[in-house]
Amino acid sequence: MTAGASDPRSRKPKLLDQMRAHLRTRHYSYRTEEAYVGWVRRYILYHHKRHPLDMGAEQVEQFLTHLAVDRHVSPSTQNQAKSAVLYLYKQVLGVELEWLDEVVQAKRRTRLPVVLTPTEVRDLLQHMDGSARLVAELLYGTGLRLMEGLRLRVKDVEFTRREVMVRAGKGGKDRVTVLPENLVLPLKRQLERARALHEEDLAAGFGRVYLPYALAMKYRNADKAWAWQWVFPSRRRALDPRPDAVTGRQIERRHHLYPESVQRGVRHAARLTGIDKPVSPHVLRHSFATHLLQAGYDIRTVQELLGHKDVSTTMIYTHVLNKGGRGVLSPLDAL
């Protein structure tokens, strides 16, 4: 196929820039944008920079096979790569070919989640400090995902009703979860520190936080309002990679706390505690759900707090309700 006036490859801007613009138009998160663009870039480089319009099902299969066989990626990672490449063809290039629906889907393995005991959670948290500890306590106390916790804004914490509002969580859904009594005072102190930073930024001519869905254009001063600021702001300001909705230029903002800092803190605390399990911030969410079920809470309640679309997803935690090996007398013990 030769590049002509009707060929998508002849259009401006470049292909990856087109994909970024398309993802932003549909309000995909910045992390999803980076992941999808990264996979498409790898796909093109793997095939020696051939244009996607010159490739088809065979090349997509080769790339996915390379990820599984040579790179040993997990099924979920392989499926994310597939989703990114198919998004490029269907949404960005507008290619409607039968082979797109025939590309193999990696079979995901059903695994029981890693869960800490209450004692292990307590020991883990005791070996953490600062903002990372407060975030970890929030994840265990509310069942939030890591990015949901870091993206909390001041207006989303309701102290009077003891609620935390999760805005645009996984799947773009909002939900409400519980605010633990033990986190009320620590969160209030955190907000005092965050407000001091915000006032310093305003005095220095900054203080404009990122707002989604062009709210900055509709409410011109909302991005400076205290209610919209991050609960866990970063220590340093940085240039926002996304152009500002009003000026169209990149501006310096104070981002929220970076997830890597919390992840490092949890891993370090797990080593100090001597927990012989793969521990990450997400394990605290698993532990939240498991411990609620062990305490006798209804699975539908847990489903709602976690934000699961289907109760079958929440059912994976019900393994703790079964006695399993603990309820069986081994024949060796009966001798």
* 319: in domain: yes
Half-sphere exposure of 197 (CA within 13 A, CB side): 21
Active site residue 308: yes
User: Residue 243: inside a domain, yes or no?
Assistant: yes
> In which domain, by residue range, is 232 found?
110-324
State the pLDDT at residue 271. 96
Residues 145 and 199 in one domain: yes
Side by side, the strands of the sheet bearing 157-158 are 157-158, 163-166, 175-178
Q: Tell me, what's the pLDDT at 171?
A: 74
In this structure, which amino acid lies at residue 71?
Answer: R
Verify that 154 and 178 share a domain, yes or no: yes
Choose the final residue of a domain: 55, 78, 102: 102
Does one domain contain both 92 and 130?
A: no
Domain boundary among 102, 128, 161: 102
Amino acid at 283: V
Residue 28 designated active-site: no
C-alpha distances (whole Å) from 262 to each of 96, 155, 156, 174 are 42, 22, 21, 23
Residues 194 and 265 placed together within one structural domain of the fold = yes
In 3-state terms, what secondary structure has residue 236?
Answer: strand
Q: Residue 18 has which token pair?
A: 């087109």
* Residue 3 resides in a domain: no
- Among the options 20, 133, 285, 291, which is catalytic? 285
Please indicate, yes or no, whether residues 202 and 251 belong to a single structural domain of this protein: yes
Domain boundary among 43, 67, 102: 102
Concerning whether 326 is annotated as a catalytic residue, the answer is: no
Q: Are residues 117 and 51 in the same domain?
A: no
Instruction: Specify the pLDDT at position 215.
Output: 73
Our answer to whether residue 317 is catalytic in this structure is: yes
Residue 117 shares a structural domain with residue 227: yes
Query: Is there a single domain that holds both residue 142 and residue 243?
Result: yes
Determine contact, residues 275/124, Cβ cutoff 8 Å: yes
Task: Tell me if 329 is assigned to some domain.
Answer: no
Assigned domain for 302 exists = yes
Q: Which of 145, 153, 198, 253 is catalytic?
A: 145
CATH of the domain at 301: 1.10.443.10
Q: Tell me, yes or no, whether 135 lies in a domain.
A: yes
The reply to whether 331 falls in a domain is: no
For residues 302 and 293, what is the distance between their CA atoms, to the nearest angstrom?
8
* Whether 123 and 252 share a structural domain: yes
CA 75, 78, 83, 89 torsion-angle sign = negative
> Do both 52 and 188 map to the same domain?
no
Which pLDDT belongs to residue 1? 45
Q: What is the pLDDT along the chain (335 residues), one digit of tens a residue?
A: 445 555 555 555 689 999 998 998 887 888 899 999 999 999 999 999 999 999 988 898 899 889 988 898 888 888 899 999 989 998 999 887 666 666 666 666 667 889 999 999 999 999 999 999 999 999 999 999 999 999 999 999 999 999 999 988 887 789 999 999 999 999 999 999 999 999 999 999 999 998 876 676 777 788 899 999 999 999 999 998 887 766 778 889 999 999 999 999 999 999 999 999 999 999 999 999 999 999 889 999 999 999 998 888 888 888 766 655 555 566 656 65
Residue 81 has what pLDDT? 92
Whichever domain contains 40, its CATH number is 1.10.150.130
Shared domain check, 158 and 117 = yes
Whether pTM exceeds 0.85: no
H or E, element range at 22: helix 15-25
Looking at the structure, tell me whether residues 166 and 295 fall in a common domain. yes
Identify the sign of the CA torsion 95, 98, 103, 107. Answer: positive
**pLDDT for the residue numbered 333:** 62
Annotated catalytic residue, options 22, 170, 195, 255: 170
Amino acid at 252: E
Active site residue 145: yes
Q: For residues 234 and 182, what is the distance between their CA atoms, to the nearest angstrom?
A: 24
Q: Which residues of 222-234 are buried (b: 16+ CB within 10 A; e: fewer)?
A: ebbbbebbbbbbb
Tokens of 277: 């399990």
Is there a domain that residue 222 lies in? yes
